[in-house]
Structure 1
Amino acid sequence: MPSRTPGALPRPAWTPPTGKPPLSSRLLRAAWRGLPAKRYDAGWEPGLAVPAADGSPLVTDHYFPRAEGDFPTLLVRSPYGRGLPWSPMYGLLFAEQGFHVVLQSCRGTGGSGGAFDLWRNEPADGRATVSWLRERPWFNGTLGTIGPSYLGYVQWALALDPPPELKAMVVQVGLHDPHALFHSGGALLLENALAVGVGMAYQHRGIVPLARATLRLRRRLRDITGARPLRDAYLSALGDEVPWLDEVLTHPDPDDPYWSGASLAGAAEGLTIPTALVTGWHDVLADQTFEQYRRLRRAGCETALLAGPWTHTSAVQQGWPEVFAESLAWLRAHLCADPSGLRPTRVRVHMGGEDAWRDLDDWPFSPATTSWSPGPDGHLARQASTGSAPPASFRYDPADPTPSVGGPLLSRTAGPRDNGALEARADVVTFTSAPLAEPVDVLGPVAARLSVSTDTGHADVFTRLCDVDARDRSTNVCDGLARVRTTGREPSEVTVPMGSTAHRFPAGHRIRWQISGGAHPRFDRNPGTGESPVDAVGLAPTRVTLHADSALLLPQQVIRRAE
């Protein structure tokens, strides 16, 4: 077991409190299946006040194993309260496995003092919490961090200037760039922004208030996202003004001074803290996780990547047995000197289309790509198109915007979905390959190279890769959107990143490329007038023409399993 930090003063005796973890946490713990057997009974010390960097009290709960001996500490900082699901998932489960767990509400949330800011307080408050830990009699000088989403962001905040005690991190479906959570391809990720607003405003108030707010948003989503202007329309669901949400809605430019300091991408540059990463193929933060992995690998940092068949929320729900096992093995290896649970390869991915896990030596960031070209007859071919005529055009009407179906969302409609009804619309065009004679494996980042023209000069182009099975069911694999401006009727060139995937198209299936003018309300609708979508009142339909030199770029691989 790791020893206390060299030079530290002897620790005073500590008498563990007698409190048990909350009953709700113990009941949920009993309902989980497929988790390792507990090693220790867990204790609970709730309601500790930890001074933030500005002196505000940060309400903190301490979970611990009821046993003699030195145990490492895990720091979990959350803006979503300290109750369900964080209490059983991190406090109770990891205490049972032999860790002290410090579960803390971020400044201005969950009863903690001060005002919440979407990102500006986390580096200083994380350092202040570590200073407090150094004075605890049970802290042995070995620290790890863990958590999903914004709970990952606070880990990167601490890693900007990592304390010497920090020995391992586990970032699960984690955030490092707030701007990219709310904006993509020049468009606002509207539905996800509203879901984050509800979560930030209500989750720390308890399950019942959160459930009511979530249902209220679901009932009013159509009216909110269809409002003109869009600004302040969320008030009917959230009830109160949310200053930070107003700010993110109205600052789309990543270079706007508002976003200065928001991205913590630089924390991975030169980092030496062993870091495990977890994502899902339909996670809203999957692109950020792959960027984190790329930077860590470039820095030479010890890292591991797990990518499963999950959305942002299902990774810590249905995927929790795999995610917990992966996380526990990483923390034991780097905090407890027990590498017995580590897998032998750096990367493990779930391969869609065959429902199998594959272990890989690394993730391909710059794979060779194969171009699939659209034809005027709706065919998709591996060779370049020989025609010069535009293969398709469609009319996008923002008064009846093309709807979103599945994909990386924060709602229950996220993930792979049947796209049949969507593809039957007149404002959606598709190009489909012949049935495949042999499987095609796509592994890595997917993109579309588009040549488009419009009659208004303002449009969005949404592009999606789908798998069409033998029953003609079209299921989304990955996608992306770009906001484009054109001059007259001359085509403009744009490359649209469509995210990363690991997917096998089996023999007999067909590859489909789907193109439309939006995916609403996942993205805000382009009004077609050049106005800001947040403030626009007028709407103008747009004719979008796709030209023959466009192509779908697939990173086709011959996949070799790591030995």
Structure 2
Amino acid sequence: MRSHTPDATSRPAWTPSAAGKPPLSARLTRAAWRGLPRGRYKVGRERGPAVPAADGSPLITDHYFPRAEGDFPTLLVRSPYGRGLPWSPQYGLLFAEQGFHVVLQSCRGTGGSGGTFDLWRNEAADGHATVSWLREQPWFDGRLGTVGPSYLGYVQWALAHDAPPELKAMVVQVGLHDPHALFHAGGALRLENALAVGVGLTYQHQGMAPFLKATLRLQRRLRDVTTARPLRGAYAAALGGEVPWLDDVMTHPDADDPYWHGASQAQTAQRLRVPTALVTGWYDVLADQTFEQYERLRRTGCETTLLVGPWTHTSALQQGWPQVFAESLAWLRAHLCADPSGLRPTPVRVHVGGEDAWRDLDDWPPAPAAAASWHPAPGGHLVRHAATGSAPLASFVHDPDDPTPSLGGPLLSRTAGRRDNGPLEARDDVLTFTGPPLTEPLDVLGPVVARLTVSTDTGHVHVFTRLCDVDPQGRSVNVCDGLGRLDGNPHEPSRTTVPMGATAHRFAAGHRIRWQLSAGAHPRYATDPGTGASPVDATAFTPVRVTLHTDSALTLMHGAAP
């Protein structure tokens, strides 16, 4: 691919005053935001240039720009969610008033763009076609960056897979690189994710009114959809019809299935040389993917930075937006404008839960850190010493007709985040093991892992495991969690390791560590039928007795207090 970095004398003259103002909705939204830097420039907008996609389909694009003479770098923002709210103020207006051309484009088949949207398959080719179009624009000076959240992060990874020479910086916010992992985890279908993404990709690009109407319809019909037998196709009533790509992702659970070939951009981060800033939250549904991105970038020597806040997938762009925007802007200025003055001194900044404070770190997870295991004991205790041998300890019955509900954690719904787990832990199908009151603060910094020995009477079950912080008043709040699947012989112990994500959390003196276990979190995950059948196609469900054994362990990374 050719490089094109024109100088001021080679580019034809361009008159920005010929374009109009940003939409009124964007200007009103901008005026309502607090905690953001003042704009440096007035902003104009060219509305609706049709950029030819890889196959010639028109990709409808809005161009925001500073109303000023001179050269400014360009940011490419490609979205399947439309070009209106919140994208027009959040990316088009805010970054343009700080001195960037912003190209805000609707992916094919969305927001008026031609062609048919096909989850992930066209983003690399269409991204490169857009860069080819940029090279012909009189205002493009050869300095290109990308920025955006969620699926807008995926299109960045797709472009960077064969990075054009003009690409000098990326900012991936709560971003996706592996679609399979968004829809499946631990051998389970992430049902609530699938439905929420289905609504977002089907309706959000049509405008806020259709999107809100569809979201409310899904909420009203969520129970009927998520308890249907079979599950396949039941979403159609809530989503207003069939969504072919949603059928496909729900019915292809195996990451090695040819259906998913080419979907993951994991390999991109392993050879990338474009400086990349990463943003996530401890309760972001894509946090695990962000940590994977960071690890790969660091391993390959790519310049990178990581910001982890007390956010969910959506709150990072709402309550967390002033900090997310400031970090993103500093990164783009440093690498597109040769202005590193806004960069923080360390590569990693994390919010520490329990302490409600930010920490700057040299790496993630920080070193030194010591892995320490906690073990379940009779009476619901959690202890540091391991039992001798393996013996049945405690059991419960998982009833698919009354599945253990999901409560808080990394969800796409408004119920995401930290929640009082008392109602959940009062259920008969939830086990809890609780440590003694801590005599001094305990910091947990890094990945959390459960190593389980479990037996069942059917041989098939999901196991949901969660770390909680219990305060002196007995209130139990979720910190992190994970789900795994067991397939073994009935009544025979099976061993499995369940990753529970990562955390930076301080358990204060007087607080207690609690380990919570159950057989699912519905509708966050589709209910396991208990028979080994696919949860999407199963019509016959059976209760399962689940027994935890004494040689199970919860492993935490104990960090030193600063």
Is the TM value for this pair above 0.5? yes
Q: Does 1:343 align with 2:316?
A: no
Cα deviation for residue 388 of structure 1 reads 5.0
In the other structure, the counterpart of 2:101 is: 100
Residues 51 and 60 in structure 2, CA contact (< 8 A), matched pair in contact too: yes
Matched residue SS, 2:193? helix
Query: Of 500, 503, 511, which residue of structure 1 is paired with 2:502?
Result: 500
Matched residue SS, 2:496? strand
Cα distance between partner residues in 1 of 2:445 and 2:385: 20
Cα distance between partner residues in 2 of 1:556 and 1:49: 54
Residues 187 and 524 in structure 1, CA contact (< 8 A), matched pair in contact too: yes
Cα distance between partner residues in 2 of 1:126 and 1:341: 29
Query: Of 375, 378, 386, which residue of structure 2 is paired with 1:376?
Result: 378
Cα distance between partner residues in 1 of 2:404 and 2:9: 65
Query: Residues 267 and 170 (structure 1 numbering): CA distance in 2 closer, same or farther, change over 3 Å?
Result: same
Matched residue SS, 1:14? coil
Matched residue SS, 1:310? strand
Paired residue type of 1:121: N
Cα distance between partner residues in 2 of 1:7 and 1:62: 21
Residues 456 and 529 in structure 1, CA contact (< 8 A), matched pair in contact too: yes
Cα distance between partner residues in 2 of 1:388 and 1:533: 31
Matched residue SS, 2:290? helix
Cα distance between partner residues in 2 of 1:558 and 1:290: 21
Cα deviation for residue 515 of structure 1 reads 0.2
Matched residue SS, 2:559? coil
Cα distance between partner residues in 2 of 1:92 and 1:559: 41
Cα distance between partner residues in 1 of 2:53 and 2:13: 26
Residues 443 and 561 in structure 2, CA contact (< 8 A), matched pair in contact too: yes
Matched residue SS, 1:329? helix
Query: Residues 254 and 183 (structure 1 numbering): CA distance in 2 closer, same or farther, change over 3 Å?
Result: same
Deviations 1:414-441 (A, max 9, x none): 0010100000000000000011001110
Q: Does 1:12 align with 2:12?
A: yes
Q: Does 1:31 align with 2:32?
A: yes
Within 5 Å, which residues of 2 pair with 1:99-248?
99-248=100-249
Within 5 Å, which residues of 2 pair with 1:115-514?
115-364=116-365, 367-386=369-388, 389-514=391-516
Cα deviation for residue 386 of structure 1 reads 4.7
Cα deviation for residue 315 of structure 1 reads 0.3
Residues 349 and 358 in structure 2, CA contact (< 8 A), matched pair in contact too: yes
Deviation larger for 478-487 or 130-139 = 478-487
Cα distance between partner residues in 2 of 1:199 and 1:414: 17
Matched residue SS, 1:161? coil
Deviations 1:206-264 (A, max 9, x none): 11111111011111101100000001110111112100000000000000000000000
In the other structure, the counterpart of 1:552 is: 554
Deviations 1:293-325 (A, max 9, x none): 000001101000000000000000100000000
In the other structure, the counterpart of 2:533 is: 531
Deviations 1:126-146 (A, max 9, x none): 000000000000000000000
Deviation larger for 3-12 or 62-71 = 3-12
Cα deviation for residue 334 of structure 1 reads 0.4
Cα deviation for residue 470 of structure 1 reads 1.2
Matched residue SS, 2:171? strand
Residues 376 and 389 in structure 1, CA contact (< 8 A), matched pair in contact too: no
Cα distance between partner residues in 1 of 2:472 and 2:301: 45
Cα distance between partner residues in 1 of 2:431 and 2:311: 27
Cα distance between partner residues in 1 of 2:122 and 2:555: 41
Aligned length: 558
Matched residue SS, 1:255? coil
Cα deviation for residue 368 of structure 1 reads 3.2
Matched residue SS, 1:288? helix
In the other structure, the counterpart of 1:543 is: 545
Cα distance between partner residues in 2 of 1:305 and 1:65: 29
Cα distance between partner residues in 1 of 2:358 and 2:7: 46
Deviations 1:541-561 (A, max 9, x none): 00011001000010111144x
Cα distance between partner residues in 2 of 1:287 and 1:345: 21
Residues 375 and 387 in structure 1, CA contact (< 8 A), matched pair in contact too: no
Paired residue type of 1:519: A
- What is the TM-score with the length of structure 1 in the denominator? 0.98
Cα deviation for residue 91 of structure 1 reads 0.1
State the superposition RMSD in angstroms: 1.3
Residues 280 and 316 in structure 2, CA contact (< 8 A), matched pair in contact too: yes
Cα deviation for residue 15 of structure 1 reads 1.3
Residues 373 and 384 in structure 2, CA contact (< 8 A), matched pair in contact too: yes
Residues 214 and 239 in structure 2, CA contact (< 8 A), matched pair in contact too: yes
Paired residue type of 1:481: L
Paired residue type of 1:409: L
Cα deviation for residue 492 of structure 1 reads 0.6
Cα deviation for residue 174 of structure 1 reads 0.3
Query: Residues 182 and 320 (structure 1 numbering): CA distance in 2 closer, same or farther, change over 3 Å?
Result: same
Gaps of 5+ in 2: none
Residues 391 and 551 in structure 2, CA contact (< 8 A), matched pair in contact too: no
Cα distance between partner residues in 2 of 1:185 and 1:266: 21
Residues 461 and 487 in structure 2, CA contact (< 8 A), matched pair in contact too: yes
Residues 377 and 391 in structure 1, CA contact (< 8 A), matched pair in contact too: no
Deviations 1:373-408 (A, max 9, x none): 000110001221357542211100001100000011
Matched residue SS, 1:47? coil
Cα distance between partner residues in 2 of 1:402 and 1:507: 31
Cα distance between partner residues in 1 of 2:470 and 2:366: 26
Paired residue type of 1:62: H
Cα distance between partner residues in 2 of 1:490 and 1:527: 19
Cα distance between partner residues in 1 of 2:173 and 2:341: 21
Residues 467 and 478 in structure 2, CA contact (< 8 A), matched pair in contact too: yes
Deviations 1:164-212 (A, max 9, x none): 1000000000000000000000000001110000000000111111111
Gaps of 5+ in 1: none
The runs of at least 4 aligned residues of structure 1 exceeding 4 Å deviation read: 6-9
Cα distance between partner residues in 1 of 2:196 and 2:370: 37
Cα deviation for residue 269 of structure 1 reads 1.5
Cα distance between partner residues in 1 of 2:351 and 2:108: 37
Identity fraction in percent = 77
Cα distance between partner residues in 2 of 1:246 and 1:365: 41
Cα distance between partner residues in 2 of 1:38 and 1:32: 12
Matched residue SS, 1:369? strand
Matched residue SS, 1:124? helix
Residues 378 and 391 in structure 1, CA contact (< 8 A), matched pair in contact too: no
Cα distance between partner residues in 2 of 1:559 and 1:360: 13
Cα distance between partner residues in 2 of 1:376 and 1:409: 33
Paired residue type of 1:15: T
Q: Does 1:522 align with 2:533?
A: no
- What is the TM-score with the length of structure 2 in the denominator? 0.98
Cα distance between partner residues in 2 of 1:501 and 1:322: 20
Paired residue type of 2:180: H
Cα deviation for residue 365 of structure 1 reads 7.7
Matched residue SS, 1:391? strand
In the other structure, the counterpart of 2:80 is: 79
Matched residue SS, 2:558? coil
Cα deviation for residue 109 of structure 1 reads 0.7
Cα deviation for residue 488 of structure 1 reads 2.7
Query: Residues 389 and 377 (structure 1 numbering): CA distance in 2 closer, same or farther, change over 3 Å?
Result: farther
